C-alpha cells in the first residue's frame, strides 16, 4: 500500500487519476481506517488531503462562509463567528463521536463516507450548502444533497475530491438546528436525524425554510414538503404539526438492528418539530 500526502489539489487529483489499483482519499480516517481494519476496503493508494491548505480553512467573505472539506469537527466547534451564524451545523459536528474522534473527523469525510446517518449532513443540506468538487475534468459545484446516493455510494466520479462547502448569505432572523435520536447520549449512531433551517420576516412570519432528514432513507434527504409546512406561518403549533406529519411521510426507512421502520417514521416527526422549535428560538434571537 502506498501513502501520499500532496500539498496541492492538482497533485492530489493527479495521484487519484493515475492510480492503478483501488485508491482512496484519506481525511481524518475515522471511517476509512476502521473499514480497512475490518477488511471492507483494501486500498493500494491512500491520498491524504490534510496538507492542502484550501481544504483546511474556514473563510468568511461578505457574510458567506466557505468551509474546507478537511476541516475537523473541533475546528468548527471552536470557530465563534461560524457558531453564531450556523449553530445547527455545529450541532451536527458536535455530535460526531467523542472529542478524540472530532479532533480528526472532517465534514468532507462525513459526507463522502455516505452513511445515511451521517450527523453533519442534514444540517448542511438544510443550510443549502453547495459542495465544490474538483476532479480530472476540473471544478464543478453540486448541492450537498446530491453527493451521497446510497449507503457508501456517492455521485463523485473516479478521482473527484470534495474541496469545500459554500454556504449562502445569512439573512437576519435566521436560525438552524440539528437533532438526532440515539438510545445513548453519545458514541452512538443516529436512528433518525433532522436538520431545520428557517428565516423569519420582520413580522415573525417564516419567509424561507429547509428541512433535511437523516437515517430514514438510503441517503440524507431534503424534504420540501416539510419545509413548505413552515413557510408563510408563524411556526405555531399548527404549522409544527404539519411539519411533523410531512417529515414522517417523507421517510422510507428499513427495519434493522438500529430501529424499526415504524419507530423511525414516528420519531422523525417528533424530532422535526423539536428541531424547528430550536431553530425558531435561535432565529428570534438574531
Partner 1 sequence: MATMLKYEDKDLKVVGTRPIRPDGVDKVTGRARYGADINLPGQLYGRVVRSPHAHARVLAIRTDKAEALKGVKAVVTRDDFPEMPVEFAAAGELIVNFRDVTRNMMAREKVLYDGHPVAAVAATSDAVARRAARLIEVDYEVLPHVIDPVQAMAEDAPLLHEEQITEGVDPAPEKPSNLAKVFNFAKGDVEKGFAEADLVIEREFNTKPVHQGYIEPQASLASYTEDGQVEVYTATQGHFVIRAQCAKLLQMDISKIRVIPTELGGGFGGKNNVYLEPLAIVLSRKSNRPVKMTMSREDVFRSTGPTSGAHTRIKIGCRKDGRITAAEAQLDFQAGAFAGSSVPMASMCTFTRYDLENVKVTGNDITVNRPKVAAYRAPGAPISIFGVESILDEMAIELGIDPIELRMRNAAKEGTQTYYGPTFGPIGYEDTLKKALEHPHLKEPLGPDQGRGIATGFWFNIGKETTTTLNVNEDGTVTVILGTIDVAGGSRAAMAMMVAEELGIDVDRVRPQIGDTQALGFNFVTAGSRGTFASGMAVTVAARKAIDTMRERAARTWDVPVDGVVWEDGHARPASSNVGEFEPLSIAEIARKSGMTGGPIAGHAEITAEGAGPGFGTHIVDVEVDRKTGLVKILRYTVIQDTGKAIHPAYVEGQFQGGAVQGIGWALNEEYIYDENGTLQNPGFLDYRVPVASDVPFIGTEIVEVPNPNHPYGVRGIGEVPIIPPIAAISNAIHDAIGIRLREQPMSPPKVLKAIREAGNGAAE
Ligand X SMILES: Cc1cc2nc3c(=O)[nH]c(=O)nc-3n(C[C@H](O)[C@H](O)[C@H](O)COP(=O)(O)OP(=O)(O)OC[C@H]3O[C@@H](n4cnc5c(N)ncnc54)[C@H](O)[C@@H]3O)c2cc1C
- Choose which of 13, 106, 197, 222 interacts with ligand X (CB under 6 A): 106
| Minimum distance from residue 183 beta carbon to partner 1 (Å) | 5
User: Residue 61's binding partner, choosing from partner 1, ligand X, none, with beta-carbon cut-off 5 to 8 A by kind?
Assistant: none
| Minimum distance from residue 187 beta carbon to partner 1 (Å) | 5
Residue 207: CB atoms within 10 A of its CB come to: 16
User: Which helix (H) or strand (E) covers residue 64, if one does?
Assistant: strand 64-68
Residue 268: CB atoms within 10 A of its CB come to: 30
Residue 103: CB atoms within 10 A of its CB come to: 14
Q: Which is nearer to ligand X, 112 or 239 (CB)?
A: 112
The phi, psi pair for 154, rounded to 5°, reads -130, 170
Q: Partners of 132 in the beta sheet?
A: 141, 164
Place of cell 456517492: 154
| Minimum distance from residue 285 beta carbon to ligand X (Å) | 27
User: Residue 260's binding partner, choosing from ligand X, partner 1, none, with beta-carbon cut-off 5 to 8 A by kind?
Assistant: partner 1
- Choose which of 12, 24, 91, 124 interacts with ligand X (CB under 6 A): 24
User: Residue 86's binding partner, choosing from ligand X, partner 1, none, with beta-carbon cut-off 5 to 8 A by kind?
Assistant: none
Q: Which is nearer to ligand X, 102 or 210 (CB)?
A: 102
Residue 136: CB atoms within 10 A of its CB come to: 13
Report the distance separating Cα 274 and Cα 28, nearest Å.
31
Q: Which residues bind partner 1 (CB under 8 A)?
A: 39, 181, 183-189, 191, 256-260, 262-263, 266-267, 270-271
User: Which helix (H) or strand (E) covers residue 46, if one does?
Assistant: strand 45-48
Report the distance separating Cα 151 and Cα 254, nearest Å.
12
Q: Does 212 bind ligand X (CB under 6 A)?
A: no
Q: Does 97 bind ligand X (CB under 6 A)?
A: yes
Q: Does 119 bind ligand X (CB under 6 A)?
A: yes
Q: Does 192 bind ligand X (CB under 6 A)?
A: no
- Choose which of 66, 79, 104, 258 interacts with ligand X (CB under 6 A): 104
User: Residue 109's binding partner, choosing from ligand X, partner 1, none, with beta-carbon cut-off 5 to 8 A by kind?
Assistant: ligand X
Report the distance separating Cα 230 and Cα 238, nearest Å.
10
| Minimum distance from residue 267 beta carbon to partner 1 (Å) | 5
- Choose which of 12, 15, 16, 69 interacts with ligand X (CB under 6 A): 69
Residue 118: CB atoms within 10 A of its CB come to: 26
Report the distance separating Cα 102 and Cα 181, nearest Å.
19
Report the distance separating Cα 179 and Cα 90, nearest Å.
11
Which residues sit at the interface with ligand X, rule CB under 6 A? 24-32, 34, 49, 69, 95-97, 101, 104-106, 108-110, 112-113, 118-119, 161-162, 187
Amino acid at each position: 500500500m502506498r501513502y501520499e500526502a500532496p500539498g496541492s489539489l492538482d497533485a492530489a487529483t493527479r495521484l487519484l487519476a493515475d492510480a492503478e489499483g483501488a485508491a482512496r482519499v484519506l481525511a481524518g480516517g475515522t471511517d476509512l481506517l476502521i473499514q480497512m481494519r475490518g477488511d471492507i476496503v483494501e486500498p493500494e493508494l491512500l491520498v491524504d488531503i490534510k496538507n492542502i491548505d484550501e481544504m483546511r480553512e474556514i473563510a468568511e467573505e461578505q457574510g458567506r462562509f466557505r468551509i474546507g472539506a478537511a476541516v475537523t469537527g473541533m475546528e468548527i466547534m471552536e470557530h465563534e463567528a461560524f457558531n453564531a451564524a450556523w449553530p445547527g451545523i455545529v450541532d451536527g459536528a458536535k455530535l460526531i463521536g467523542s472529542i478524540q474522534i472530532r479532533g480528526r473527523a472532517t465534514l468532507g469525510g462525513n459526507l463522502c463516507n455516505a452513511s445515511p446517518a451521517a450527523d453533519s449532513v442534514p444540517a448542511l443540506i438544510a443550510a443549502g450548502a453547495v459542495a465544490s468538487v474538483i476532479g480530472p475534468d476540473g471544478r464543478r459545484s453540486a448541492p450537498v444533497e446530491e453527493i451521497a446516493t446510497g449507503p457508501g455510494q456517492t455521485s463523485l466520479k473516479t478521482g473527484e475530491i470534495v474541496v469545500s462547502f459554500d454556504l449562502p448569505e445569512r439573512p437576519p432572523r435566521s436560525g438552524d438546528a440539528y437533532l438526532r435520536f440515539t438510545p445513548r447520549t453519545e458514541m452512538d449512531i443516529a436512528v433518525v436525524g433532522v436538520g431545520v433551517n428557517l428565516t423569519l420576516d420582520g413580522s415573525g412570519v417564516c419567509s424561507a425554510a429547509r428541512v433535511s432528514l437523516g437515517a430514514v432513507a438510503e441517503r440524507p434527504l431534503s424534504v420540501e414538503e416539510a419545509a413548505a409546512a413552515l413557510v408563510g406561518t408563524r411556526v405555531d403549533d399548527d404549522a409544527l404539526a404539519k411539519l411533523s406529519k410531512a417529515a414522517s411521510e417523507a421517510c422510507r426507512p428499513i427495519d434493522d438492528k438500529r430501529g424499526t421502520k415504524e419507530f423511525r417514521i414516528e420519531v422523525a416527526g417528533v424530532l422535526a418539530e423539536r428541531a424547528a422549535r430550536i431553530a425558531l428560538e435561535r432565529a428570534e434571537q438574531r
